[in-house]
Structure 1
Amino acid sequence: MKLAKNIKSSAIQVLQKEADAVQNLINYIDEDFVTCVEAILASPGRVVITGIGKSAIVANKIVATLNSTGTPALFMHAADAIHGDLGMIQKDDFVICISKSGNTPEIKVLVPLLKRLGSKLIALVSNTKSYLAEHADYVLNATIAEEACPNNLAPTTSTTVHMALGDALAVCLLEARGFSSEDFAKYHPGGALGKQLYLTVADVVPKNLVPKVSESAPLSEIIVEISSKRLGATAVVDNNDQLLGIITDGDLRRMLLSGADINRVKASEIMTKNPKSIAQAEFAIRALNQMKEHNITQLVAMDGDKIVGFIHIHDLMKEGIV
């Protein structure tokens, strides 16, 4: 019991220290940060991010975030840079060097080489009095009070803060570029996330048949239409194929429980008027949200005033959106 209590206490302390450090970053978002973002936006070059040890891992993550949000970025390991990888840096590139101390041997070797290439150097650093900060063109201040490690040694709080500041940089660039959800979809075409951003109702509906009956259709015709198309519902249309209503399996059950004369009932008497519908050009995720909002399992898909089919929650499940 005591061990469990200590574990919970330690975990809470780590999260509290890291949360406080991230919160404190707000105080360091200054004009240098703004100027840095503006300079990257104005440059035709890319962003090359470098670091060593845990900072290299953080650098890789920030590179991935920048690339996925419209800012071309590359990773260069600080140790490999002096063994040929400097060749990846082009004239107009910005180099972000991530370091807690800003004084590691590899960084001290790398900085003069970067300056000689004419690259603009951005220091993402926790020590603004360091060699790196003093030789950088821009400083992104990631100062921390202490690591979450009880020995104040293992990179914990510092890496969290560096990553958070990288996220802030990426989002500022995203917003300044006017990077839209459509742009985001271009870089994330795979998986459920990508499908939410590009899959439309029209992409799903053609896979289904279009069940529909006239408003005067008898019960036998309604049942055959619902059963043969296997969507659990049928549209009710007029002579001009305009949508009048919808009949679902549930409507049929309720009609039978009501004691209605099954030999005389017609579609117009049991249909639900003004059914929920969605334009085929809408994103499929909006169809899912509409189904959730109204607690239903299908929508009528429309092309203007014309019914083009049904989109069912099972269709969205097959696509991995649900």
Structure 2
Amino acid sequence: MLLKQWFFTMFNAQYFRTFITLVETGSFTRTAHRLEMTQPGVSQHVRKLESYLNKELLERKGRSFTLTETGRRAYDYALKLFAEHEQFRHGLDDDSLDSGDCRIASPGSVGLMFYPYILGQQQMHPNLTVNYSFAFNHEIVNDLLEGRYDIGIVTEAMNHAELDCSIWHQEPLCLVVPADFAGSTLSDLMGIGFLNYYDGINHANALLRANYPDEFRSMTHFRHQGFTNEVSMVLDAVARGLGFTVVSRLVLETSPWQRQVKALNLSNAVNEVLYLLRRRDSVLPKRYEKLLNGFHAQRVQEKTPLMPSTL
């Protein structure tokens, strides 16, 4: 018990705070003034820190000093210590809009644009930390149930007793063909074949049925030119002239192959519906609402039809 009390007496975070200030000011006098201490008090903190570490931190030269190797390492550690402390403190504030931890998972098609938006928010708000996972729908459900993430965004409605599922967002689907493709009929599309990905068949069925109601029967009538589980890469195959595909406009707008492909003009729009998942027993900090609604506002400015966000 006495040893435990000694440890916590010796390991005093204020000693590290004093040491940081001393290194930054380069002066015992200026450190005392900034921290509203006496100069002997500053010296005492440094000596106690040296005693705790059993190493000298300073090479004293009259009124000046330089850091020893241990001093430099202690300074780096102290900076990290207080940065993590501030991050932890802000993370406990559920009412904070711009600080704390967020844990989010989504399919790649959503993350291609939502994750860069989040990174922009982190640049503006350094105390905001986001752990973002790209995953398939079933993986997101499992991660939420096991507590790895707080919210998940999925491409199909989920019915689970422990999860709340609500419509979060809608993005138009695009029928994407090679840039030099001159056709427009269903027969023309059947001629070049279909490039599939995780949600490709479902998206193609919905969009083609809405725009070719008298001709379209099923995607089984199309020649399948290949499959990739990474939606962002399917447009590479389209750009090479290997076939057509149907993707969310989010995917098309973020693709490096935009100049090598094009979206056909269709009469009837069909949206991909994205769903927000969360555990029914969870109370989400307000920073999640700001991120979700902020992304909505950005898409509204880009003249994309959106659904209101509900948490």
TM-score of the aligned structures, taking structure 2 as reference length: 0.28
TM-score of the aligned structures, taking structure 1 as reference length: 0.28
Which one has a bigger Cα radius of gyration?
Answer: 1
